[in-house]
Every structure is written in structure tokens, then in C-alpha cells.
Amino acid sequence: MKHERSSELFELSKKYIPGGVNSPVRAFRAVGCDPVFIDHGKGDRVFDVDGNEYIDYVTSWGPLILGHANEMVLEAVSKAAAKGLTFGAPTGVEYEVAELITEMIPSIEKIRMVNSGTEAVMSAIRVARGYTGRDYIVKFIGCYHGHSDGLLVKAGSGAMTESKPDSAGVPSGYAEYTLLADYNDLDSVQKLFDEYKDKIAAVVVEPVAANMGVVPPLPGFLEGLRRITEENDALLIFDEVITGFRLAAGGAQQLYGIQADITTLGKIIGGGMPVGAYGGRKEIMDKVAPTGSVYQAGTLSGNPVAMTAGLTTLRTLKDNPGIYERLEAKGAKLEAAYKAKFGDRACVNRVGSIMSAFFTPEKVIDYDTAVTSNTEAFGRYFRYMLENGIYIAPSQFEAMFMSDALTDEDVDRTIEVLNGYEL
């Protein structure tokens, strides 16, 4: 494949945009090549500015569960945009989305719309602190909850790719009240609650870690977090920005049968438009202004175009449970092919329509095992797949995302390309 125009745009972009990109992992630094610049997408395909065509397993990092340029979503967005792009005032579609989300995720009784997953988690933690009157929170090493100052401590996602789990520019005081535990290790959580008794407001966790690659919860882990938080009058925050409505119509909470006190959402609830949300039990959410003393606001929160895209997407998922059955079947087929190809040279983790192949013989269950991966080997694999028309995440520590637009023929094509890779 030729990438002249992408390379040209990358050089031009670096003159005006830090690193030439607006989110670090897009720079492809971890995989040893320049990024491709996308021109358009349709269904399960994206097309770059040089005219190259790819089967897409990034899907804009997860929100496009129905595929690119879904006709129902585009039609709804077009009608909404024709009425006006933003008003900074309440609209009826906000109520419709809120009602639908509370129906699909029963632990959410009230919800507040924001503009990103970062904003959602930041706000959820503020509410947890305001509700409990406590300052400390517990997060897990390798889990990424956005780039707010207090959470950029041993984070995952691009922070792992860059080997910089902590960010410059964050005063030590911001992270002082963030306590670190090991994912899938309940003892590490219990020790923190013993040491900081009656001081911890909440535990925040990705119910399926997906920002150090896909790392499922071990049996009993989520149940243990629920028990520990209840015993200590702390809140359990599920960061379902990725897993929400992707693993099931009710997200990870439906899949694992665990209810959180506060849930953060993003990606799919915007149907491809920028969006985030946080919600939970009524008595917790009533602490949020204007009914309570926890302040949070946003000019574009509940933007009618984003809400319309999300409403159309969520209704489609709710009314078509077969989508999840199809995604599971395609995911299982790909998982089997990857395991057959790499054997004990890689650990393949999958939950539903998200999957990662870690280039390590270790069983990946946490941050320490994830970072045993051979990132150079991953880079070689990535470049081979890209040159053969398969677009996957340009980082060992990200997930492959499948959409319902992914055809059986394209799954077969992906497996054919994979099997041609020389180990």
C-alpha cells in the first residue's frame, strides 16, 4: 500500500498540532510507522486519504457498534442538525435518552449528560466525595479513566504505550488522595480499606479492563468489590465508558450481575458524536446542582445532535438483541483463529466484541502481566495487518472492537490475513 498523502498530512499537522495528532495513540509511535489519515468510512470499512481500504477493528475506539455511517443514525442526525446544532437549553431528546438509559441499566435512577468520558468520571468522583464526605478514592493500576489530574496515576491506554503512566503537569496534591490497588486482587483493595478506614469515598473500576488491553475480571472479583464497598459505606463506581451497551444491552452490569452505585458512560451513548454521562441511585445524584451542592455544568452537555445519534443507536440495540448474539459469534470465531495461530506465544483475551492479543506467554490478568508483552513483536504484527487491509488499534495495550456491520466474509478475510503472518 502507498501512504504518501497520509505522510504529507502528518508532516503538515506536526507544524500546528502537538505530535501531529489530537490524541497520543493516533501517532502510531508504538508500532513504528506513521499514521494513516482516514477520509471516510462505511459499514465495517474505513478508507484513507490515499485510497486504501481497511476492515476496521477500531470503530473510533468503540462507539460505532452499528458500523460507520449507519443510515438510521445519519438520517436522525441530519434531521436534528437541521433544527439547530446547540441551544444551551433543555430539549426533549435529553429526557428520552435519560429515560431509555435508566430502563436499560436499572442501577441508574438519575443521570447527567456531559461531553466526554473523562468529564463523566471526573464528575462521578466529585459526587462520590460530596455524597460520602470522604476524600480518598481507590483506582486500579493500568485502568484508564480519562485524563483528569487526580486519575493520571498508573493509568492505562496511551499512558502505557508511551511508558509514562504519570503525567507531567499534575501537582502531587491532585493525586494525593488517589490510592492504587491491583486489578483482580481483592487483598490489595482490602488492605487499603483497612489502612484508610472511614476515609475512602469510592472504588472506581473498569468492570472489564480495556485500557491495558482487554483484561476480564476473575471470578469473584467484582462481587468482592461490591462486598468491600458496602461493608465500608463506600461507593462502587463502574467506568462503563467502553463496556456500556457493548457487552450487553445493560452493559457489564447485566453481563456479570453486579450493580454499581454510580456508572459512567460514553462512546456508544453518542452513536459516534462526542458525549459522556454519569448516573446512579437517586439519593446520590440528587447531590448534583441545582438540587444539591456538588457543582458541575457544561454548555454543550446534552447537545441535541449527539443525543439524537445516541438515542437512535440505543433504541436499535434495545430492540435487536440478535446484535449481541452476532457479535459474540464473530468474536468467538476470531478468538479461536488467534489462539490457533499464536498458540502459547500470545495470550488472547476476549469479552464479547472486544479482544486483545498480548504478545506474551503469560496469562494476562493485571497490569504486571500485561506489561510482559513484547511490544516490538506487536508492532511487526500491526504493520503486517495494516499493509494487508486490516486496521487494528496501533498499541499493544488497546482493544480490538467489532461492529455489527462486520460481515462473516470480512471475518474470514481477517483470519486469512492473520494466517499468512510469519511468526
The residues assigned a catalytic role are: 144, 239, 267
For residue 365, give Cα distances in angstroms to 145, 160, 227, 347, 400.
18, 16, 21, 10, 17
Q: How far is CA 133 from the centre of its chain?
A: 29
Task: Give Cα separations from 348 to 189, 342, 391 (angstroms).
Answer: 27, 9, 18
Cβ–Cβ contacts within 10 Å for residue 181, how many?
A: 23
* Cα–Cα distance measured from residue 337 to residue 333, given in angstroms and rounded to the nearest whole number: 6
Kindly report the backbone phi and psi dihedral angles of residue 39, in degrees, each rounded to the nearest multiple of 5, phi listed first.
-95, -45
Give how far the C-alpha of residue 369 lies from the chain's centroid of Cα atoms, to the nearest Å: 20
Half-sphere exposure of 103 (CA within 13 A, CB side): 12
Decide: residue 197, CB within 10 A, 0-12 exposed, 13-18 middle, 19+ buried: exposed
Phi, psi of 97 (to 5 degrees): -65, -45
Q: Are the C-beta atoms of 111 and 310 separated by less than 8 Å?
A: no
Distance CA 8, CA 209 (A): 36
Contact between 386 and 46 (Cβ < 8 Å): no
- Dmax (CA) of the chain: 61
State which H helix or E strand residue 423 sits in: none
